[in-house]
Amino acid sequence: NAGVTQTPKFQVLKTGQSMTLQCAQDMNHEYMSWYRQDPGMGLRLIHYSVGAGITDQGEVPNGYNVSRSTTEDFPLRLLSAAPSQTSVYFCASTGTGSSPLHFGNGTRLTVT
């Protein structure tokens, strides 16, 4: 059982480039979310989804897009990367609103 799988693990982008961070879960969880982790700031919610076809913004959504075409996948798109988006990104899923989140192993993104 793979749980939550994120790819890639590391990525370096130049300012203005676009890319998609992939996230897939095999636990049939309805709820999925993306967080970013920055030094001294903990984790902050970027976007989330309560089911296929339904997404919403979290605390820090600017510069990111998401879609949820299937229950399993929840990709995060950076449309035009900026140095401020240098961070570690975590995807998470859960089956109910209050159950613990299952996190992926993270993607370390550097924007130069």
Partner 1 sequence: AQKVTQAQTEISVVEKEDVTLDCVYETRDTTYYLFWYKQPPSGELVFLIRRNSFDEQNEISGRYSWNFQKSTSSFNFTITASQVVDSAVYFCALHSGIGFQKLVFGTGTRLLVSP
Distances (CA, A) of 64 to 34, 47, 76, 89: 10, 8, 7, 12
Does 48 contact partner 1 by CB under 8 A?
Answer: yes
AA identity, residue 93: S
Phi–psi pair at 100, nearest 5 degrees = -60, 145
Does 43 contact partner 1 by CB under 8 A?
Answer: yes
Interior CA angle at 58 toward 57 and 59, to 5°?
A: 130
Does 27 contact partner 1 by CB under 8 A?
Answer: no
Does 40 contact partner 1 by CB under 8 A?
Answer: yes
Does 97 contact partner 1 by CB under 8 A?
Answer: yes
- Binding residues for partner 1, rule: CB under 8 A, are 31, 33, 35, 40-45, 48, 50, 56, 58-59, 88, 90, 94, 97-103, 105-106
